[in-house]
A and B are shown apart, each in its own frame.
Chain A
Amino acid sequence: MILAPLGRDGALAEQILCRAGIHASVCAGVTEACDGLGGGAGAVLLTQEAFSLETAGRVVDVLLDQPTWSDIPVVVLVGAGVLPQRVPYLRTLLDAGANVTVLERPVPTTTLVSTLQAALRARLRQYQVRDQFDAIARAEADERRALDRARHLQELTVQLGLNLDTSVLFAKIVDAVVVLLDVTIVGLYLLERPDADFESVASRGLAPGQVGTRLPRRSSLAGRAVDQRRFLAVNNGDGVVLPRLLGDSPVGAVAVAPILTEDHQLGAIEVYSRSPRDWESDDVELLTAFAAAVAVALTNVRHLEREQQEIEARDDFLAAASHDLKNPLTVIRGSIQMLERTRARTGDLPRERLDMSIRTISGSAARMTALIDELLDVARLRMGNSLVLEKSPTDLVALAGRLVAIHQSASEKHAIVLDASVPQLVGVWDERRLERVLDNLLSNAIKYSPGGEIRVGVGRDGESAVLSVQDRGIGIPEADLPHVFDRFRRGANVLGRIDGTGIGLAAAAQIIREHTGSIDLHSREGEGTLVTVRLPLSTDLESR
């Protein structure tokens, strides 16, 4: 309720209304009254007819320029016998259909109070209409925004699918979050393995040097979001590990959406704000939906990368296999040429040269046969077929002794020690393939250690035979350990340094699995590797 200038009546009216429970305030002048009305401060205007023309004009302007829902009730006190139509501004208002009630002086207190109460009730109804209008407008705006965001989300999702290069994809993901949620600080964190720490792979608005740093898997908000498979948010960074923002300012609020597929935890998207904030439900929905799209895009890119790696590795493998076949071929050809040369020159073949040639030729032929067998096994495994084991009673101690002797004769820098706790250990196994397994393990031990002792253990543990190979070589980096039995996989610390096909351990593991045994590998980079094979000591002679 606003009381426009009423002269000395103003204070009196305020007193009367106050006693009736109506809050009123007297304006110092017309300007204040008009500003108050225009700004929505008053519900009802109580005024008088005696205005100057100019002052009245301003009041009229305010009253005629109202929003559609608003029709401010105006109560005007006029002198006895004054006709409202004779007062120019009243006539203007009345002609314009304004909500004007004229009370002729003297006005009884009860009339004044009841008139104003009626006006206030009318105004209250207008407010209710206004609130409904606002609610409708808000809902419409929300709907428009939601539609815009959905369209935007769809566009960005399609764009993500077009990227085949991971670093470009990572940048696009954080840029998309900036646009989608209208935020400035975003970080993308990925998990190489479900238990590893998060690695920061792309960010916007975070301190430089952030990329490549790690967020702890367990104590971070991202870790909790991934474990609980849902959006999480906190204010003031309570109890969570947060990255440094640009300019080292503290984080006011952080929200995390986990990047998940049905059975894989891939990482998380973190969105930060410098001041505390409550995330709206559509922010939550949008970020969650986007994270799902990111999960699909990441999975696709990773599949593609893996396929490319497999193709490259297969090419390397074929190159290495042809390399390995050419050495024994060189030996066979060289031996035969030597024999031909000798006979041409002397007309005879000396016994010593003949024996040596026979030995090298048959050894090379055996090597080629073994390699071709291995290639066939690899081809079978690649086609998803299992191996057909040729089982027969096999003494593991004798088998290990043979391979230790062969490898020892080929390496002067290594001391290969056979450590058998029993004189004989016979099981029903595929002897040729077990030879290949131990051959692979010993070759690896020799290849990946500059020298020193290599210990081959053979023993019995209950119903299992245990075969182990331990070296003090360069070991395997921790990050590579989960992949050592993958086909064509080689450690990051030997790529480009040591020749090899990378098929050995995968094939060895397959052979052991088909024997219903197990193979375990423990390694520490710089300290060496221990591979332990367990084989069942059954007497089942049937081939599988």
Chain B
Amino acid sequence: MGPTNVSNGVNESNRLPVLVVDDDADVRQVLCWALEDAGFDVLTAPDGPTAFAQAELRPPGVVVLDHGLPSTDGTHVAVGLRRICGEHLPILIVTADGRAAEKAQRAGAYAFLHKPFDDAVLVAAVRRGFATS
């Protein structure tokens, strides 16, 4: 993965997208709004297999991953995405339950957020993800 330059909501055509993986269509929608308004390109996937297909087509710079996906455990999605995009892929875990830290650690995530979260916090966390990659 090459170096990425993202700065304060300015669109750049050659930058890597944020991949949002969440089974809830409405949650995907609000995440999209928040990230697109902050200037990120956003791809979405409702489940692991779709996320893998998206990542094959266009490797993401940061992944926002809901840990409670049906039929595929978030940890497995993280492993699958890293196999495709490389070990250093920054993953941000978003989860609605109380064991977020534990889940984030298992998935090797650089950060985690509890639902519901503030848009500004989400955007800041994604920016940090790009900065670490």
Partner of A331, one of B29, B73, B97, B119: B29
Check B97 against A360 for contact (C-beta < 8 Å): no
Provide the residues of chain B in CB contact with A342, threshold 8 Å.
Answer: 37
Q: Are A326 and B96 in contact (CB under 8 A)?
A: yes
B98 at the interface (CB under 8 A from A): yes
A510–B68 Cα distance when bound, in Å, is: 28
Known contacts A330-B116, A331-B26, A341-B119: A323-B34 contact under CB 8 Å: no
Q: If the complex has contacts A323-B68, A331-B26, A356-B29, are A341 and B115 also in contact, measured as CB distance less than 8 A?
A: no
Interface of B (DSSP majority class): loop
Alpha-carbon gap, A326 to B66, bound state (A): 12
Please tell me if the beta carbons of B119 and A338 are within 8 angstroms of each other in the complex: yes
Give A322 to B30 CA distance when docked, in angstroms: 20
Q: Which residue of A lies closest to B22 (CB)?
A: A327
- The reply to whether the CB of A229 lies closer than 8 angstroms to some CB of chain B is no
**Contact surface of A with B, Cβ cutoff 8 Å:** 319-320, 322-324, 326-335, 337-338, 341-342, 345, 353, 356, 360, 363-364, 410, 412, 446-447, 450, 497-499
Return the chain A residue nearest B49 by Cβ.
A413
Is B8 at the interface (CB under 8 A from chain A)?
A: no
Contact of A334 among B31, B68, B70 (CB under 8 A): B31
What CA separation (Å) do A326 and B114 show in the bound complex? 9
Q: Is the CB of B29 within 8 A of A360?
A: yes
A338 touches B30 (CB 8 A): yes
**Which A residue's beta carbon lies closest to that of B122?**
A334
CA distance A329 to B27 in the complex (A): 9
Interface pairs (27), CB distance under 8 Å:
A319-B97, A326-B115, A326-B116, A327-B96, A327-B115, A330-B30, A330-B115, A331-B24, A331-B29, A333-B30, A333-B117, A334-B27, A334-B33, A334-B119, A335-B30, A335-B33, A338-B33, A338-B34, A341-B119, A342-B37, A345-B37, A353-B33, A356-B29, A360-B30, A410-B25, A412-B46, A497-B73
B71 CB–A CB distance under 8 Å = yes
Q: How far is the CB of A102 from chain B (nearest CB, A)?
A: 105
Residue of B nearest to A359 (CB): B26
**A337, B97: Cβ atoms under 8 Å?**
no
Query: B96-133 interface mask toward A, CB cutoff 8 Å, 1 = contact, 0 = none?
Result: 11100000000000000011111100000000000000
**Shortest distance between the CB of A489 and any CB in chain B (Å):** 19
Q: Other than A327-B24, A328-B26, A330-B117, give 8 A-B pairs with Cβ distance below 8 A.
A: A319-B98, A326-B96, A326-B114, A326-B116, A334-B31, A335-B30, A337-B34, A410-B25
Shortest Cβ distance from residue A534 to the other chain B in the assembled complex, whole angstroms: 29
Count chain A CB atoms within 10 A of each CB in B26, B46, B71, B73 and give the residue with the most: B26
Q: Which of A333, A335, A341, A356 contacts B37 (CB under 8 A)?
A: A341
User: How far apart are the CA atoms of A331 and B25 in the complex, in Å?
Assistant: 10
Kindly list chain B residues whose C-beta atoms are within 8 Å of the C-beta of A322. Answer: 96-98
In the complex, how many angstroms separate the beta carbon of B124 from the nearest chain A beta carbon?
Answer: 14
Q: Are A447 and B30 touching (Cβ within 8 A)? A: no
